Amino acid sequence: MGKNIKSQRRGRATTTYTKPSFNFEGQTKIGSNGSAVITEFVHCRAHTAPLARLKHADGTFTLTIAPEGVCTGQQIQIGEGQPATGNILRLADIPEGTSVFNIECIPGDGGKFVKASGLTAKIVAKDATKVTVLLPSKKNKDFNPACRAAIGIIAGGGRGEKPFYKAGKRFHKMRAKNMYWPVVCGASMNAVDHPFGGRSSHHKGKPTIAPHNAPPGKKVGSIRPRRTGKKR
């Protein structure tokens, strides 16, 4: 009869595929406007970049992505100030050509874009209604001028340049975040493990296009392919 495929089991949110968030240091976000001091740098296995713990003027603490060139005890400005490395300003107050990261999608949401180590974005155009930012994916995206962003380049660059020499190293890295690894295509599995598995190799007699309204557990195969049929 077969069994549930891995994507279906992941959709049930069992502990096998749930991230160990109880071991994470916390959520990174931009705190309230004002001045803050960097008290320490924190390593969190949920993030690829080092984190900085900020102590705000009202005595509260927040975690944020640490940029290159900052140190403990350094004071940064949030909401207003000079466009210096580490400060967090509104996009409307940042000059064109400035490198930014941890950009808010909606004013006040704490930062959603450009948060991985070594990444940075660049402000390319500004007007009264929108600010155009060149993302690391080489795509331009328009943001609300009231959205805040941190100035600089995220620390931890060059992380991807060091290869994994052994599969065991990669295993422990993926295990730290409880990520599904290794990934095997369904056509290479046995018939009991996947609907596309079996001895007929990669040639299947059934369509591999997932329906648009299929639940997450059944969205396997080609997800909204650009083209179908034999390439001629």
| Residue 47, domain CATH | 2.30.30.30
Range of the domain at 146: 21-159
Q: Which residues of 170-186 are buried (b: 16+ CB within 10 A; e: fewer)?
A: eeeeeeeeeeeeeeeeb
CA angle 211, 212, 213 (to 5 degrees): 95
Phi, psi for 41 (deg, rounded to 5):
-105, 140
pLDDT of residue 1: 45
DSSP state letter for 117: T
Domain-embedded: residue 128: yes
Domain-embedded: residue 206: no
pLDDT of residue 206: 61
**Among positive and negative, which fits the CA dihedral 53, 57, 60, 65?**
negative
Domain-embedded: residue 207: no
Separation in Å, CA 15 to CA 19, 168, 217: 8, 22, 16
At which residue do the structure tokens 């890295």 appear? Answer: 173
Q: What is the mean pLDDT of each run of 10 residues along the chain (232 residues)?
A: 70 81 93 95 95 95 96 95 94 96 95 96 96 97 97 94 93 90 82 75 64 79 76 77
Domain-embedded: residue 30: yes
Domain-embedded: residue 108: yes
pLDDT of residue 200: 64
Based on the structure, what is the number of domains in the chain? 1
Domain-embedded: residue 4: no
pLDDT of residue 47: 95
Domain-embedded: residue 185: no
Domain-embedded: residue 36: yes
